[in-house]
Structure formats: C-alpha cells, structure tokens
Amino acid sequence: MNTKVFRINDLEQYCKALIQFSSDTINPNNIEQNIDEYISLGQVISLVKSKSKLKKGRTYISEKNHDKLLDIVTDMIYGAGLAKLAGQNIIECAWDSEKNEMIFWKD
C-alpha cells in the first residue's frame, strides 16, 4: 500500500490549521478560549519538523504522519487542559506507578 505524501507550502499556516482542527475536535461548540494557554505555535512547528521531510527546500509529510500529528496535538491540548484544571484544584491528579501514567479524578 502506497502512503500519500503532501507538500506543505506554508509551515506556519499548516501548524495553525493543525492547532485549530485539534482544538475544534476537543471543543466542538467553539467556546471562547485562548489556545495559546494550551499549546504554542512553536511546539507544533517543532513537532511537524520532526515528522516531515525536507527535500530541495520544500517540506513534505506523509498522510500517516499527518494523522499522527493530529493525535499528538489533540493529546497535548487535552493534557494541558487537564493540568490546568488540576492546578486550579477543580480536579485531582497523581502519578499511577502501575500504569506509568498520570491519572485525574474529581472528588
């Protein structure tokens, strides 16, 4: 099976679109929020650069890596939101050594 590959013409615009799509996935009702509090453009640009290829000065990304990036960015926004709620004492959190992950709950 051949994987489709796409050229990214404008890296910054592509990254902004990833952030917007991921944000809309988590927040489909478009409740006002400052997405910069959850993820930065610089973080996403670094991620995209790590998952894409540069050939002859142009950036290319496979469909598979594009899909992975959407998942990663969505998870980062979601995780930052949970951390923010925990920091405001709205929810509780702790490290679960058995699962090797952070867990969250509401009392």
Residue-wise over 80-107: b if at least 16 C-beta within 10 A, else e? ebbeeebeeeeeeeeeeeeeeeeeeeee
Degrees, nearest 5: CA angle 73-24-59: 45
> For position 55, what pLDDT does the model report?
94
Directed axis angle between helix 11-26 and helix 41-51, to 10°?
110
> For position 30, what pLDDT does the model report?
64
Query: What average pLDDT does the segment 91-102 reach?
Result: 94
Q: What is the pLDDT of residues 25-61, one digit of tens each?
A: 887 776 657 888 889 999 999 999 999 999 999 999 9
